[in-house]
């Protein structure tokens, strides 16, 4: 099996090379992202391996299909960048539903603690031998109410971490986890009651801009917003307006809705054209990390192992348990239960 690997970063090469060699899968690493212009690089390969900021829309899928590519192997959980409906009948699509929920959940808590205890500011001050505590007052997490939007694997790990801090937990999910001991409420109630809100849900048409100029009005004044899921869950302009109006007390962002041409690259010494991102970063109560919540050694190994497993399963038995198939209308749960190919 020969795979064209797009949007390669240095940290990808080792884990994927090791797992690929052990399974007889050969990766050709390309630095450019997958787009309509770069799809031709995949000519002659069995499949492509892509990440969150690669593009697999209808045009790209058609080009890959015409080049003889048989499948798309996502090395992430989210698939909002893939036109799964258009891929049906052309390309099989696999993803990595779980690689390390601990990595993302722990990063979300790290961002929260850094923000409310001013750790990033203290680090900069003490490096200049400034040991003043002026402006460094934070607040206890114990007893605060945290609203968790999305209670999949990552959301539930984050809930467990919050329980360790003695926080009051409420949650919203369109499909509540049964017998999980989680206090589910409506989204409007969650917005109104929460001192802290953390987003852990996938990006869909329904969740796009679920925090927007109207729902910001429902928030408890001074709320801390955390997003380690997908940037477009939050309308960045509405978030900025909420911060400026003092409704939102702080924001901790590992994702941004227009990140695809910015994140994972070094723009130090350059002028970034995205005025909204520039204004967010300039705010003293905003922390932005560059989509690194997944980036732990354990997660990288699990991502590579699962991705290679998806590829070999498809090659050996013709099906893959982690296939995303539009055939039955439910992308992640096929009625055929992966016993045979949908096409």
pLDDT band at residue 265, thresholds of 50, 70 and 90? confident
Is 291 catalytic? The answer is yes
Average pLDDT over residues 181-197: 98
Per-residue pLDDT of 88-128, as tens digits, reads 999 999 999 988 899 999 999 999 999 999 999 999 999 99
- Alpha-carbon span 93 to 48, nearest angstrom: 10
Per-residue pLDDT of 206-253, as tens digits, reads 999 999 999 999 999 999 999 999 999 999 999 999 999 999 999 999
pLDDT band at residue 336, thresholds of 50, 70 and 90? low
Q: What pLDDT is stored for residue 293 in this prediction?
A: 96
pLDDT band at residue 333, thresholds of 50, 70 and 90? low
pLDDT band at residue 7, thresholds of 50, 70 and 90? very high
Average pLDDT over residues 271-288: 94
Which two three-digit tokens encode residue 119? 């750790």
- Alpha-carbon span 211 to 190, nearest angstrom: 12
- Alpha-carbon span 153 to 70, nearest angstrom: 30
Per-residue pLDDT at 330 exceeds 70: no
Per-residue pLDDT of 134-147, as tens digits, reads 999 999 999 999 99
Shared fold status for 2-99+297-317 and 101-288? yes
b/e burial code for range 257-272 (CB count within 10 A of at least 16 → b)? bebbebbbeeeeeeee
Is 2 catalytic? The answer is no
Q: What pLDDT is stored for residue 318 in this prediction?
A: 86
Per-residue pLDDT at 327 exceeds 90: no
Fold of 2-99+297-317: Rossmann fold (3.40.50)
Q: Determine the 3-state secondary structure of 56 from DSSP.
A: strand
Q: What pLDDT is stored for residue 328 in this prediction?
A: 64
Q: What pLDDT is stored for residue 317 in this prediction?
A: 87
| Cβ atoms < 10 Å from Cβ of 24 | 11
Which of 230, 257, 305, 323 is an active site residue?
230
Average pLDDT over residues 46-68: 97
Least confident of 111-120, 128-137, 320-329: 320-329
Which of 92, 156, 259, 323 is an active site residue?
259
Domain limits of the chain?
2-99+297-317, 101-288
Looking at domain 101-288, does it have CATH number 3.30.70.890?
no
Is 70 catalytic? The answer is no
Which of 107, 291, 305, 323 is an active site residue?
291
Q: What pLDDT is stored for residue 210 in this prediction?
A: 98
Average pLDDT over residues 260-282: 91
Q: What pLDDT is stored for residue 201 in this prediction?
A: 95
- Alpha-carbon span 183 to 6, nearest angstrom: 41
Per-residue pLDDT of 20-53, as tens digits, reads 999 999 999 999 999 999 999 999 999 999 999 9
Q: What pLDDT is stored for residue 152 in this prediction?
A: 93
Per-residue pLDDT at 284 exceeds 70: yes
Report H helices in the chain. Answer: 10-23, 58-66, 84-87, 101-116, 119-127, 153-164, 187-193, 236-244, 275-282, 297-317
pLDDT band at residue 337, thresholds of 50, 70 and 90? low
- Please state, rounded to an integer, the average pLDDT across all residues of the chain: 94
């Amino acid at each position: 099996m020969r795979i064209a690997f797009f949007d390669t970063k240095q940290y990808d090469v080792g884990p994927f090379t090791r797992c690929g060699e052990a399974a007889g899968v050969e990766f050709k690493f390309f630095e450019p992202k997958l787009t309509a212009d770069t799809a031709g690089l995949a000519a002659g390969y069995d499949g492509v391996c892509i990440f969150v900021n690669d593009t697999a829309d209808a045009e790209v899928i058609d080009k890959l299909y015409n080049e003889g590519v048989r499948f798309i192997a996502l090395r992430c959980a989210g698939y909002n960048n893939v036109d799964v409906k258009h891929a049906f009948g052309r390309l099989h699509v696999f993803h990595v539903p779980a690689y390390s929920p601990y990595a993302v959940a722990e990063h979300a808590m790290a961002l929260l603690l850094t923000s409310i205890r001013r750790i990033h500011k203290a680090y900069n001050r003490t490096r200049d031998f400034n040991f003043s505590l002026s402006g460094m007052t934070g607040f206890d997490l114990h007893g605060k109410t945290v609203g968790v939007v999305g209670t999949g694997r990552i959301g539930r790990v984050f809930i467990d971490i919050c329980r360790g801090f003695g926080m009051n937990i409420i949650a919203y999910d369109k499909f509540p986890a049964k017998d999980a001991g989680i206090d589910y409420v409506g989204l409007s109630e969650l917005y109104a009651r929460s001192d802290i809100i953390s987003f852990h849900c996938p990006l869909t048409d329904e969740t796009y801009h679920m925090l927007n100029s109207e729902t910001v009005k429902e928030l408890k004044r001074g709320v801390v917003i955390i997003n380690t899921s997908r940037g477009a869950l939050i309308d960045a302009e509405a978030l900025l307006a909420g911060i400026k109006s003092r409704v939102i007390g702080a924001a901790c962002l590992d994702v941004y809705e227009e990140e695809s041409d910015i994140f994972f690259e070094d723009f130090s010494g350059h002028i970034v054209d995205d005025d909204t991102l520039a204004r967010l970063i300039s705010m003293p109560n905003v922390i932005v990390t560059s989509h690194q919540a997944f980036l732990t050694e354990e997660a990288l190994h699990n991502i590579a192992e699962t991705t290679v497993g998806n590829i070999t399963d498809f090659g050996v038995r013709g099906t893959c348990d982690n296939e995303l198939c539009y055939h039955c209308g439910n992308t992640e749960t096929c009625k055929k239960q992966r016993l045979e190919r949908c096409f």
